[in-house]
Amino acid sequence: MSSPIHVDETGGSDDTGKGTLEAPYGSLAFALFTHPGATLLIRKDGAYEEPTQSALKKAKKGADGLEKKKKKAEELAERDALAKAQEKERKEKLIEESKKIVLVEDPSLPKAKKAKLNNLSELRGQRVRVSGWVHRLRDQKEIIFIVLRDGTGYLQSILTGKVAQTYDALTLTLESTVELYGTLQAVPEGKTAPGGHELIVDYWKVLGAAPGADDAFSNRLNEKSDPSILADLRHLVLRGETASAVLKLRAALMTSFRQTLTSHDLLEVTPPCLVQTQVEGGATLFKLDYYGQPAFLTQSSQLYLETCLPSLGDVFCVQESFRAENSHTRRHLSEYTHLEGELAFITFEELMNHIESVICETVDKLLADPISAALIKQLNPNFTEPARPFKRLSYVDAIKWLNDHGIQHEAEDAEGNVIKDEQGNPKMVDHVVGDDIAEAAERKMTDILGVPIFLHGFPAELKAFYMKKIPGKEGDAHVFTESCDLLMPGVGEIVGGSMRIADEQELIAAYKKEGIDPSPYYWFTDQRKYGTCEHGGYGLGVERFLAWLANRYTVRECSLYPRWPSRATP
Ligand code: 4AD
Could you read off the pLDDT of 182-232 as tens digits, one per residue? 999 999 999 989 989 999 999 999 999 999 999 999 999 988 889 999 999
More confident residue, 478 or 250: 250
Q: What band does 428 get if pLDDT is binned at 50, 70 and 90?
A: very high
Q: Is 480 in the pocket of ligand 1 (CB under 6 A)?
A: no
Residue 158 contacts residue 188 (beta carbons within 8 Å)? no
Question: What pLDDT, on the 0 to 100 scale, is given for residue 475?
Answer: 66
Q: Is 537 in the pocket of ligand 1 (CB under 6 A)?
A: yes
Question: What pLDDT, on the 0 to 100 scale, is given for residue 44?
Answer: 82
Most confident of 10-19, 95-104, 153-162: 153-162
Cα 339 to ligand 1 centre (Å):
9
Q: What's the rounded Cα separation, in Å, for the pair 416 and 82?
A: 73
Q: Is 175 in the pocket of ligand 1 (CB under 6 A)?
A: no
Q: What's the rounded Cα separation, in Å, for the pair 516 and 464?
A: 11
What is the tens place of the pLDDT at every residue in 359-386? 999 999 999 999 999 999 999 999 999 9
Answer yes or no: is pLDDT of 1 > 60.
no
Query: Cis peptide before 389, with omega less than 30 degrees from 0?
Result: yes
Question: What pLDDT, on the 0 to 100 scale, is given for residue 90?
Answer: 85
Q: What's the rounded Cα separation, in Å, for the pair 253 and 362?
A: 7
Q: Is 494 in the pocket of ligand 1 (CB under 6 A)?
A: yes
Q: What band does 471 get if pLDDT is binned at 50, 70 and 90?
A: confident
What is the tens place of the pLDDT at every residue in 330-363? 999 999 999 999 999 999 999 999 999 999 999 9
Average pLDDT over residues 120-134: 97
Q: Is 323 in the pocket of ligand 1 (CB under 6 A)?
A: yes
Mutate to test the pocket of ligand 1, among 261, 285, 338, 354 (most ligand atoms within 8 A of CB): 338
Cα 494 to ligand 1 centre (Å):
7
Mutate to test the pocket of ligand 1, among 304, 321, 328, 486 (most ligand atoms within 8 A of CB): 321
Alpha-carbon distances of 242 from 134, 210, 245, 385, 516, rounded to whole Å: 17, 22, 5, 22, 45
What is the tens place of the pLDDT at every residue in 26-81? 999 999 999 988 999 999 888 999 999 988 899 999 999 999 999 999 999 999 99
Q: Is 182 in the pocket of ligand 1 (CB under 6 A)?
A: no
Q: Is 457 in the pocket of ligand 1 (CB under 6 A)?
A: no
Cα 540 to ligand 1 centre (Å):
6
Q: What's the rounded Cα separation, in Å, for the pair 338 and 271?
A: 12
Q: Measured from the CA of 323, which atom of ligand 1 is nearest? A: 28
- Closest residue CA from atom 22 of ligand 1: 541
Question: What pLDDT, on the 0 to 100 scale, is given for residue 224?
Answer: 87
Cα 455 to ligand 1 centre (Å):
15
Question: What pLDDT, on the 0 to 100 scale, is given for residue 416?
Answer: 83
Residue 203 contacts residue 182 (beta carbons within 8 Å)? yes
Average pLDDT over residues 510-538: 96
DSSP of 68-110? HHHHHHHHHHHHHHHHHHHHHHHHHHHHHHHTT------TTSP
Average pLDDT over residues 72-96: 91
Tell me, yes or no, if the pTM score tops 0.75.
yes
Least confident of 52-61, 244-253, 314-323: 52-61
Name the average pLDDT for the chain: 94
Average pLDDT over residues 78-104: 91
